[in-house]
Amino acid sequence: MQDYRHPAEPFRIKSIESIRLLPRKEREKILKEARYNIFKVKAEDIYIDLLTDSGTGAMSTDQWAALMKGDESYAGARSFYRFEKTIKEITGKKFIIPVHQGRVAENVFFSTVLKQGDYVPNNTHFDTTRANTQHKGGIPVDIPCPEASTEDEVPFKGNIDTQRLISFIEEKGPENIPVVFMTVTNNSSGGLPVSMANIRETADICRKHGILFFFDCARFAENAYFIKQSEPGYQDKTIKEIAQEMFSHVDGALMSAKKDGLANMGGFVAVSDEELARKIIELLIVIEGFPTYGGMSGRDIEAVAAGLQEALSEDYLAYRVGQIGYFGRIIEQAGAPIIKPTGGHAIFIDAGKYLPHIPAHQFPGQALTIELYREGGIRVVEIGSLMFGGYDPNTGEKLNAIKELVRLAVPRRVYTASHLDYVADAIARITARKDRLRGFKITRQAALLRHFTIELEQLKSEEVEVG
Ligand code: F0G
């Protein structure tokens, strides 16, 4: 019997997009011109783009067909009602408010519920969620479960630490905590899932203290698949049933549909409370659009409605999560330590461990990120001191990242095993000379979300400190 690497793609490829690898000399020049900020490199100068799984997926024939059905009416478009029905069925929430992407959901939500100095606990904030909380005067607090910082290969390392959540609520007072968030899957701590038991327990804690409980649910279908795989009692349920149960525990959810919506653009806020929905909609009309399109075209809305259904397919999720597991195994074989177990959308290399000679303030994750482009025209993203360091814009306090990670996010339905093999081969070549990699220093930066626009210089050998 053949040893299958991961369940084969449950689709065939009907349309292709050419990619090319530039010569090494050109890649070096491009890096210099981009001031070693990988966000500034043109997409056509990238061979394999693992910057994000957000909005980069391939649509199905059904989704492309649905685009033609897009109703572009300003108010009351047919496409909106299809979108609303699909999301109501999955989330069970009464009010579905469309937005063009996740961070707008964050903006309208936090603008509505936060007052200056409020705390927002989360298993781990994603960068835009953190920034939007801070932008509205809130204080984001990460409360990951204790296993998240261990090497243990336990299944639900995305969980929130419920004991610490209780002590935090008691210490700060529930009146200063309008909402508790749970990010499913937990992107910033490895794309790892949250268990139904942890969701249920967190819901109980929030209810007891009169605090709202919300999901940041960009990858809820991948999370539901992990529950089906690893949590007792869920093996015979469908992904949709599991997702419905997950949402039954929260008061609402914010979604970037660019992930498990299998769409290139889109998002929503789902809430049950009418008063809250009304306030959000009032702001939405000012900054985003009328509540039956919320910044999206009718065709985008159709693509999300169709994509959300497809993301609940178990065949698709087995391939998707299997592919990520395969990618993790070959990266480890190439000599790079990764966060384990592997999650649903990306592999996270522990660059702090891989490059122990580069201290955090010289950005080991960025050193690996830049080297992957130099070596193979591969684009990945640093998730460490470059992304999460700097200063808190409200308190001026110096911030530190918990880990120095590099994320290799896999777009949905886009790359095959050969593409992933190519990336692992490039890592193996880097591993052979990794002790000679040098860190970076910042030459220009912004206060919020600095990684998008930051400018850097690679350290010269005489500037290198030993980590
Ligand atoms: N929440 C999570 C958990 C996310 O991963 C993202 C985006 C957002 C919210 C914001 O959504 O981009 O539609 O405004 N994550 C992307 C990523 C950008 O690369 O992980 P958005």
Tens-place pLDDT, residues 272-281: 999 999 999 9
What integer is the mean pLDDT of 343-351?
96
Lowest mean pLDDT among 1-5, 90-94, 371-375: 1-5
- Domains in the chain, CATH or no CATH each: 24-53+313-463 (3.90.1150.10), 61-310 (3.40.640.10)
CB-side exposure of 413: number of CA atoms within 13 Å?
25
What integer is the mean pLDDT of 418-435?
98
Task: Please tell me which residue in 118, 216, 300, 350 is annotated as part of the active site.
Answer: 216
Residue whose token pair is 């693992």? 50
Please say if the pLDDT value at position 448 is more than 80.
no
The per-residue DSSP string of 231-278 comes to STT-TTS-HHHHHHHHHHTSSEEEEETTSTT-SSS-EEEEES-HHHHH
Q: Is residue 189 within 6 Å of ligand 1 at its C-beta?
A: no
Task: Please tell me which residue in 110, 119, 126, 388 is annotated as part of the active site.
Answer: 126
Residue 434 a catalytic site member: no
pLDDT reported for residue 1:
41
pLDDT reported for residue 2:
44
Residue 53 a catalytic site member: no
Task: Please tell me which residue in 259, 340, 403, 434 is annotated as part of the active site.
Answer: 259
pLDDT reported for residue 394:
66
Could you tell me which of 288, 226, 282, 219 has the C-alpha nearest to residue 256?
219
Q: Which atom in ligand 1 lies closest to the alpha carbon of residue 128?
A: 10
Mean pLDDT over the full length of the chain: 95
**What percentage of residues in the chain have a pLDDT greater than 90?**
88
pLDDT reported for residue 432:
98
CB 364 within 8 A of CB 329: no
- Minimal-distance CA residue to ligand 1 atom 21: 102
Q: Choose the residue to mutate in 256, 381, 451 for probing ligand 1, maximizing ligand atoms within 8 Å of C-beta.
A: 256
Q: Which atom in ligand 1 lies closest to the alpha carbon of residue 103?
A: 14
Q: Is residue 379 within 6 Å of ligand 1 at its C-beta?
A: no
Could you tell me which of 316, 340, 418 has the C-alpha nearest to residue 5?
418
What integer is the mean pLDDT of 37-56?
97
Which residues have C-beta within 8 Å of that of residue 192, sequence separation ≥ 6?
Answer: 148, 156, 157, 158, 185, 186, 339, 341, 343
What integer is the mean pLDDT of 417-431?
97
Q: What is the distance in A from the centroid of ligand 1 to the CA of 208?
A: 30
pLDDT reported for residue 466:
63
Q: Is residue 218 within 6 Å of ligand 1 at its C-beta?
A: yes
pLDDT reported for residue 61:
98
Lowest mean pLDDT among 56-70, 361-375, 394-408, 447-461: 394-408
Residue 135 a catalytic site member: no
Task: Please tell me which residue in 58, 77, 218, 401 is annotated as part of the active site.
Answer: 218
Per-residue confidence at 175, pLDDT binned at 50, 70, 90?
very high
Mind listing the pLDDT tens digit for each residue in 206-243? 999 999 999 999 999 999 999 999 999 999 999 999 99
Per-residue confidence at 3, pLDDT binned at 50, 70, 90?
low
Mind listing the pLDDT tens digit for each residue in 287-315? 999 999 999 999 999 999 999 999 999 99
Please say if the pLDDT value at position 146 is more than 80.
yes
Q: What is the distance in A from the centroid of ligand 1 to the CA of 101?
A: 8
pLDDT reported for residue 4:
57
Question: 161 in the Ramachandran plot: left (φ > 0), alpha (ψ -120 to 50) or beta?
Answer: beta
What integer is the mean pLDDT of 191-205?
97
pLDDT reported for residue 393:
63
Per-residue confidence at 38, pLDDT binned at 50, 70, 90?
very high
